[in-house]
Chains A and B, each alone.
Chain A
Amino acid sequence: MNAPESGLILDAVDRQIIRATQAGLPLVPQPYHAVAAQLGLAAGEVMARIERMQAAGIIRRIGLVPNHYALGYSANGMTVWDVADDRAEAMGEQVGRLAFVSHCYLRPRHLPAWPYNLFAMVHGRSRQEVAGKVAVIAALLGDACHGHDVLYSSRILKKTGLRLTD
């Protein structure tokens, strides 16, 4: 296991809590008590550990996770860009700042099949809407970009999120 970025080392009890809640919280008036009862812990301890994990960023947020498609965001475009290496960092920062870009990463190329190093996810209610946003990114990148593509998702094959297995 790597050194965690957060500086918080998870112990066996934290991991039990993660396993008990990663698929969701029980939908009962006292969900943290229900988790505690299931694990043989005190409710106060479960809540304190969850708050600690939240403060450390191990828990990004607690709440509901909407299904994009059910909410009408049916066009899900992974836009990929071949950006000059010496400008990729700066351009990535700028693309990441666009309001409609939900995720933006630099990733390795796999030449010759895959020349793209900048990935930006764009969601819209139609492909036309996504295409308009792609044009905005293309204009921003200008001559730093040597080519791009948009990969639309056509089916969700799996969506479960993180699962600890041990």
Chain B
Amino acid sequence: MAAEKIPTPTLPINGEGDNPLPRGRGRLGGGAVDDLDETDRRIINALQGGFPVCERPFQQAAETLGLDEQTLIERIEHLLAQKVLSRFGPLYNADRMGGRNVLAAMAVPEDRYEAVAEAVNALPEIAHNYRREHALNMWFVAASDSDATLEAAFRRIEQETGLPVYRFPKEREFFVELKLTV
């Protein structure tokens, strides 16, 4: 959808940028993008969607990339192991399953940050969690096919941490899609 919106940035220089993430959990080894060869790049640019549903989907996808089936499988395995990819497979949309994604945020005291992150992340409903630089310094998305499950997860976080969870359910969605090019 909305293919005209896809940005086509050029390849970044190794490790540059003014926002180095702190090392530790969630931090990637530097220069991951520099380790990608031409074949990796073609795979990443071509396979962010459209993976076929058929008997031999890797073979079919490989043919359009001029690769053989086993090479494509091994490349994807490697990119996952390197954490260049976070996942390979169907991307499910909770909204369309009768449930919702709800964004929420908390103002977590620094000395409790790790413990609160653990408590939040332990809940399976929490799909993403990011530290952000603001008084509200923890932002997470809870996803479920049931509103009641989401609300129970938020209440449990409030009970376990004693901190208020600010809910930011979307009232209107204008656009969702991002395709990265390397």
Contacts and interface: CB of A to CB of B under 8 A. Distances in A.
Interface of A: 1-6, 8, 10, 18, 21-25, 27-33, 43, 47, 50-51, 53-54, 56-76, 78, 89, 92-93, 95-97, 99-108, 110, 113-114, 119, 121, 123, 125-128, 149, 151-165
A70 B83 contact: yes
Given A62-B49, A72-B11, A75-B18, A29 B98 contact: no
B89 A21 contact: yes
Given A64-B47, A107-B170, 19 more contacts: A2-B100, A27-B73, A58-B97, A59-B92, A59-B93, A62-B90, A63-B51, A64-B76, A64-B88, A67-B83, A67-B86, A70-B28, A70-B33, A72-B33, A75-B17, A125-B9, A152-B19, A159-B86, A165-B149
A62 B57 CA distance: 11
Report whether over half of chain B's contact residues are helix, strand or loop; otherwise say mixed.
Answer: mixed
A68 B83 CA distance: 10
Interface of B: 4-7, 9, 11-12, 16-22, 24-28, 32-33, 43-44, 47-51, 53-59, 69-70, 73, 76-77, 79-80, 82-100, 103, 117, 120-121, 124-136, 138-140, 143-147, 149, 166-178, 180, 182
